[in-house]
Amino acid sequence: MAVALVTGTSTGIGLATAVTLARAGHIVVATMRNVDGAGELRDISANEKLRISIAPLNVDEDASVEDAIAKAIAEHGRIDILVNNAGVPGGGGAVEEVPIAFFRQVMETNFFGGLRCIKAVVPGMRERRHGCIVNVTSVAGRVANAPMAPYAASKFAFEALSECLAQEMRAFNVRVAIVEPGVIATPIFGKGKQGPEGSPYPHSRRLRALFSASLAKPVSPYVVGEQIREIVDGDSWQLRYPVGPDALPMLQRRASKTDEQVIKEAADSDEEYRARIKRDLGFELNL
């Protein structure tokens, strides 16, 4: 039985991970920005008598992170597992159209938020020579598609941080894993910032069509939660874990193309884009 702290647990992957780890017998500190949104998690925990405590934690704020993690350690004596899941969606349009303030907002949560939590738990894990840190990124952490610059940049950065951290912690017996979900049915897809009306860039419209086609056969966030449980309950030093039926095909598709091919294809007509997505991924797009 381990003590796990999971961020961003009000819905989606975070909620599924907290429940899955608790069902596996772990003590779970489920954190979120606003605990008023914990209704579903409270109900599941009460009905199944799971060892889940709910705590406020805003990953954007140093004091909030330090306070929440200090309280968790005071109550349980340690944190064995950190799951960095809290994040915000991207969107907003092309680089030209997105304010720099929005780039900063996405980076603050998706990169610096996870970094704050890591820095708060690493000293204890290093001293005990035991622990597991799971950073939830995305296939967008390795595949940069327009118009996802704010989101992809934050996830690319978090992947790089995770890879460096894994190297640093290996000598101290602390495992680091990167979980890269594909398109998973979570509320994040309803929260993305829409691009401006009349944009000269077609990429936002195309991406919405692609997500819509993928979500026609929704993949439960519990698929990701179960992968995270397998990581923390196992002993593998594997770094990256693509998760979901479309994750590996998306990564393989990108790996099969040169940078120049990807850039050229972004200028395709709608008809060419539709045909390419059907050929490569099997999706019929409504454009």
Please write the tens of the pLDDT for every residue from 87-131: 999 888 999 999 999 999 999 999 999 999 999 999 999 999 999
Q: Is the pTM of this model over 0.85?
A: yes
Q: Is residue 178 in a domain?
A: yes
User: What pLDDT sits at residue 189?
Assistant: 64
Q: Is residue 280 in a domain?
A: no
Helix (H) or strand (E) holding 52: strand 52-56
- CATH classification at residue 134: 3.40.50.720
Whether a cis peptide bond, with omega within 30° of 0, leads into 147 is yes
Q: Is the pLDDT of residue 192 over 70?
A: no
Q: Burial, 175: exposed, middle or buried (Cβ in 10 Å; 0-12, 13-18, 19+)?
A: buried
CA of 127: how far to CAs of 71, 79, 122, 193, in Å? 19, 12, 8, 42
Q: Is residue 70 in a domain?
A: yes
Sequence-distant (6+) residues with CB within 8 A of 78 are 3, 124, 128
- Count CB atoms within 10 A of the CB of residue 82: 27
Q: 151 an active-site residue?
A: yes
Number of structural domains (the chain) is 1
Q: Please say whether the beta carbons of 193 and 91 come within 8 A.
A: yes
Q: Is residue 270 in a domain?
A: no
Q: Is residue 252 in a domain?
A: no
Task: State the Rg of the chain over Cα.
Answer: 19
Q: Is residue 283 in a domain?
A: no
Q: Is the pLDDT of residue 190 over 90?
A: no
pLDDT band at 191 (very low <50, low <70, confident <90, very high): low
Q: Is the pLDDT of residue 193 over 90?
A: no
| Domain around 186 | 3-197+218-245
How far is 235 from 246, CA to CA, in rounded Å? 26
Q: Which of 151, 201, 222, 273 is catalytic?
A: 151
